[in-house]
Amino acid sequence: MKKIHVFITVFLLVVVPLLFLNCSSEEDFVTGTHFSPHNKKFTFSDFKKETGLKNFSFVKKARLNTSIHARDIDSDFLIDTLEIKRHINPSNDKTTYSFKLYPISEQLESKEYYNLVFEKIGEEWNELIFFNKEKINPIEGEPKLESSEMVYNRMSLALSQGYSEIITYNFHCTGTGKCSTGTCDECHLCISETVTYVYTGINHHDPGSGSLPGSSDPGSGGNSSGIYIPNPYDGAEDLNNLGFMLAGDVVAYFNTLPNTIQSLTISYPWIFNYLIDYFSNNGGVNPISEQNATIALTTFQTLTQNFNSPNWLTTSNEQINFWAFYTLLNNTNQRGFNPQDLFEIKDYLLSANPQTAESIIDYLFSNFNDTESMEFVLDFLRNVEESGLNLDFEKTLNSPANIDDSAIDKSTPEGQKFDCIYKKLMESPSFKNLFVNTFGGEQTKLNVKFEIAENLPNTTNGNCLLLPASNGNYTNLIRINKNILAGPNVRSNFKIAKTILHECIHAYLNIKKINCNLGSTITELNGLDLQQLIGTFYQSFGCHISVNGSPQSQHEFMFNHLVPTFQNIFSEIRDLLAPQSNIDYVNNNTYLNTINNQNFTWNWNDFYKYFSLEGLHLCESFVQNITQVPVENFYYDFYRSQAQQFSKDCQ
């Protein structure tokens, strides 16, 4: 018998002269027993609307469990959506949908074909694949189907061969002289076939997890037994379905590549689907898109060699390879893209500790469709090398600066408190954009190293020291007083968070001041607290604090930019720093303003404003706008004192 190799692009399929072809090609069996020649053809759009399945791929990869092979094999197929056979079982209203399924590389006899069947199990759609054979020389008038074997069951892979398939022939007498679009015979009979699949195996249960999806225990209403209508190859491939045709073109292109490239689909079965997406978005399969795809695949094949670690989670190994393929495929022809950047990332990940590597991989995978994430990671790992700091990726990702907190012992009470408060700040989008929101424009992350200090006076919650530059990169050392984190003088969560914010602003202004080139020295800057540092900008002509490139007065900077940014941050994490009981208490109380003898209720935005100004009371603008205005000074003292009454317990 002649064998065919199904190259989908040119569709070298044997057109089999099927008896009663006109009777079956348009059938939509809506009852399982009755068929009307006036039924509308069931389309792919009907299928998607009726099933709700939107993300449909024309490529199907499956491991077949079949008696026609000595072992299980991984096979790739193209799904033809031109003609869909729909069947509703009248006994239980269960609906199945069968598609023609073309193997990409397997050789079939002219009477053999595959079908993909969708059935619903509970609320989930199951996929089955059947291998069908037709009789070689059927007697005229007899049904054609000889056998049908389930070779794939997505929900019950181990039980694919535990099913029996029963072929049923249905004879329909129309009484009209025509069946569908053609005359069938003198009796006006149409013959149709259905296949009933019933699980007849003995082992109904998976010892490790109870009932397998699709098992057919007696009396079970949710089994995967069902009936489908065979959908044979008939030479009517969907030439008008651009997606299907493109998938065929991609298959033909892929089959021209070396075996080392083609074998990638064994480990990475999603390659076909994303190749189809790529060609679809780049004008189809043409010389330019082929060249770019081949470069991407070749680079990916080299990159994947040893690109995994036994110390990573299995999902991390899978995610980084997917990200690498997607990035190469969609950026190879983009200006400024350098494939060697991926090898640089690979080298760093393999040398980093597993926790850091997994955090980076998760970030890249979650943002696989943009290149900014890759640029961020490259900046991070290059800064690690240049600065010599032990940067924390998660904290750097969600902070306004590159963060090294490796000197903080998180097994101690003070270390745990710092880490907890800092993570609350990380949940504020405004904290991540602290410098952008305060100073405007595009900001380059500066380097910040945190440590807990035991030698600071009780009147100093924290300070910031500028360390000598390494390779042109300054590092700010922020020291948090141990006494505000643990012990009898512990401060509230709000006050600790405010201290961290103040010192971050201090670190930023340190860099701005040293870059003014007006004679400022590191020794001089390290003798200043934040309010003193702010004052120095206005004592030297040409070294003002700028926002969006425009010099600001001290008042404008403090009250129009700094305070509003702090207000946004605290409003975003209030419920993380204070328990609901604290919030309810201040909300439900009435307070007396002793300056004007008027009652007032708690105002959270006022609390954030006055509380944020604590520590800036010597600034000229503070003196003019707060200290010298009695009502303002009252509110400042009131809210500042209340800040310490909030919770000191960080969870």
Q: Could you please report the per-residue DSSP string of 483-532?
A: HHHSSTTPPPHHHHHHHHHHHHHHHHHHHHHHTT-SS--HHHHTT--HHH
End-to-end CA distance of the chain: 74
Note whether 151 and 297 are same-domain residues.
no
Q: Which neighbouring-strand residues pair with 119?
A: 96, 126
* pTM of the entire predicted model: 0.68
Whether residue 238 is found in the same domain as residue 261? no
Same domain, 283 and 219: no
End position of a domain, from candidates 209, 243, 277: 243
CA separation for the pair 173, 190 (Å, rounded):
6
Residue 608, classified by CB atoms within 10 Å of its CB into exposed (0-12), middle (13-18) or buried (19+), is buried
In this prediction, residue 172 carries a pLDDT of 60
Return d(Cα 168, Cα 151) in angstroms, integer: 19
Residue 482, helix vs strand vs coil: helix
Could you tell me if 234 and 275 lie in one domain? no
d(Cα 490, Cα 613) in Å, to the nearest integer?
Answer: 20
Q: Within this chain, do residues 229 and 268 fall inside the same structural domain, yes or no?
A: no
Which residue in the block uniquely carries the two structure tokens 């980076």? 360
In a domain, 519, yes or no: no
99 forms beta bridges with 116
Report residues of the chain scoring pLDDT below 70: 1-40, 66-74, 141, 157-161, 171-190, 201-224, 235-241, 441, 443, 469-472, 515-556
223 and 286 belong to one structural domain: no
Question: Furthest-apart CA pair in the chain: how many Å?
Answer: 109
* Domain closes at, from 323, 356, 387: 387
Q: Which of 193, 217, 243 is the last residue of a domain?
A: 243
Q: Does any domain span residue 282?
A: yes
What pLDDT, on the 0 to 100 scale, is given for residue 544? 56
d(CA 354, CA 347): 13
Give residue 524's pLDDT: 54
* pLDDT at res. 273: 79
Residue 500 lies in a domain: no
Clarify whether residues 227 and 299 are in a common domain: no
- How, if at all, do strands 550-552 and 462-470 pair? unpaired
357 strand-pairing partners:
none
Q: Is residue 88 part of a domain?
A: yes
Residue 77 is part of which domain span? 3-243
SS3 6: coil
Please state whether 645 falls in left (phi above 0), alpha (psi between -120 and 50) or beta. alpha
Query: CA nearest 566: which of 612, 530, 520?
Result: 612
Kind of pairing between the strands at 447-453 and 402-404: parallel
Task: Give the pLDDT score at 527.
Answer: 58
CA angle 386, 465, 398 (to 5 degrees): 60
* 474 lies in some domain: no
Q: In what order do the strands lie in the sheet with 447-453?
A: 402-404, 447-453, 473-481, 462-470
CB atoms within 10 A of CB 637: 13
Q: Which residues contact 105 (CB under 8 A, 6 or more apart)?
A: 5, 6, 76, 255
Tell whether 614 is covered by a domain. Answer: yes
Q: Are residues 210 and 262 in the same domain?
A: no
Q: Mark whether 294 and 221 lie in a shared domain.
A: no
Q: How many domains would you assign to the chain?
A: 3
CA distance 645 to 628: 26
Distance in angstroms (rounded) separating the CA atoms of residues 253 and 313: 34
Residue 172 lies in a domain: yes
Task: Compute CA distances 76 → 8, 58, 105, 201, 496, whole Å.
Answer: 12, 11, 8, 27, 59
**For residues 321 and 324, what is the distance between their CA atoms, to the nearest angstrom?**
5
CA-nearest of 508, 486, 509 to 496 is 486
Q: Please indicate, yes or no, if residue 541 is contained in any of the structural domains.
A: no
Same domain, 235 and 373: no
Q: Which one-letter DSSP state was computed for residue 31?
A: S
Mark whether 11 and 103 lie in a shared domain.
yes
The Cα angle at residue 650 between residues 646 and 651, in degrees rounded to 5: 130
Judge contact between 80 and 244, C-beta under 8 A.
Answer: yes
- State whether 173 and 204 are in the same domain: yes
Calculate the CA 377 to chain-centre distance.
17
Residue 40 has a pLDDT of: 55
Handedness of CA 149, 155, 156, 158 (dihedral sign): positive
